[in-house]
Amino acid sequence: MVIASAMTHRSGIKGGAGLKVTLYVVPGSNASLTGRLLLDHKGIEYERKDLVPAAHVGILKSLGFPDMSVPAIKIDGRRVQGTLSIARALEQLRPDPPLFPVDPARREAVEDAERFGEQELQHAARRLFYCAGRREPENFTSVVLGGETNLGPARRLIVAAGARAILWAATRGHGATDEACRHAMSDLPRMLDRIDAWIEGGLLDAEVLTAADFQTGVNLRLLLLFEDIAPWIEGRPAARLAHRVAPVYPGRIRAVFPPEWLEPLHAAAPPRPDA
């Protein structure tokens, strides 16, 4: 069975001194999109290989990656996995445009916001995505298969027909239980306030984007696909950042959450009039 086919992204220079860069992703995955945007920001040419979700774990292993998660990149045979490590490897490979400020205090602040985006916000968005998919598998397939992918027809069929099984595996792998999702939802107001404060303080969404913008922006953009959640984010500074960092995030996540899950979000702020 074909496990991955490729697409070459010629957004700019080669990896550097003729380097060959391959990016492994799962279509629709928030962390994968962060990896792609980091490479695009650097203008590094790469070949993208889309993997079937859940099956990607075994494929990465067979390719010699130590961890089970995407994004994963090979830079001339050197394996780097995880968005934090990828950002640092790319910064080393091609310092301009930078992903991190030179000033040590500012770099520390950017790294704090980056970690928050990579851990708290990314987990919350992913878990909510799986919870919404369990309630309505089309919420899952519209995101995974909704964009341009290089999964061929057979693998698209595997994703569509296997959505429930993939969601079961992902729920286990990422602890995306209903309880965890309800907690994630109730924590969104705090996370959104924190991001808006960073933006208003000039740490995020400044003139030059940093690794922290890519981490937070992509996960906010995924949250904007949720019909249940988007009206409470649109119109906020956080939404502006999300649209700037990730203008396109295919898919539509229809309203599926019980009203009581949404109460903390609704209680925190009214939806913006322009949402």
Contact residues: ligand GSH, CB under 6 A: 26, 29-31, 57, 68-70, 82-83, 118, 122, 126, 173
Q: Smallest distance, Å, CB 226 to ligand GSH? A: 16
**Helices 83-93, 104-116: crossing angle, 10 deg rounding:** 140
- Single-letter amino acid code for the residue at 64: G
**Helices 178-200, 122-135: crossing angle, 10 deg rounding:** 140
3-state secondary structure of 229: coil
Q: Smallest distance, Å, CB 126 to ligand GSH? A: 6
CA 166 to chain centre: 18
45-66: b or e for each residue (b if 16 or more CB lie within 10 Å)?
Answer: bbbbbbbbbbbbbebbeebebe
Q: Smallest distance, Å, CB 56 to ligand GSH? A: 6
Choose between 92 and 119: whose C-beta lies nearer to ligand GSH: 119
Choose between 30 and 171: whose C-beta lies nearer to ligand GSH: 30
Q: Smallest distance, Å, CB 275 to ligand GSH? A: 26
Choose between 68 and 275: whose C-beta lies nearer to ligand GSH: 68
Q: Smallest distance, Å, CB 70 to ligand GSH? A: 4
Choose between 84 and 269: whose C-beta lies nearer to ligand GSH: 84
**CB nearest ligand GSH: which residue?**
69
Task: Give just the sign of the alpha carbon dihedral 146, 151, 154, 159.
Answer: negative
Q: Are 41 and 209 in contact (CB under 8 A)?
A: yes
Pairing, β 21-25 against β 46-50:
parallel
Choose between 67 and 103: whose C-beta lies nearer to ligand GSH: 67
Choose between 225 and 262: whose C-beta lies nearer to ligand GSH: 225
Q: Smallest distance, Å, CB 72 to ligand GSH? A: 8
How far apart, in whole angstroms, are the C-alpha atoms of residue 239 and residue 257? 21
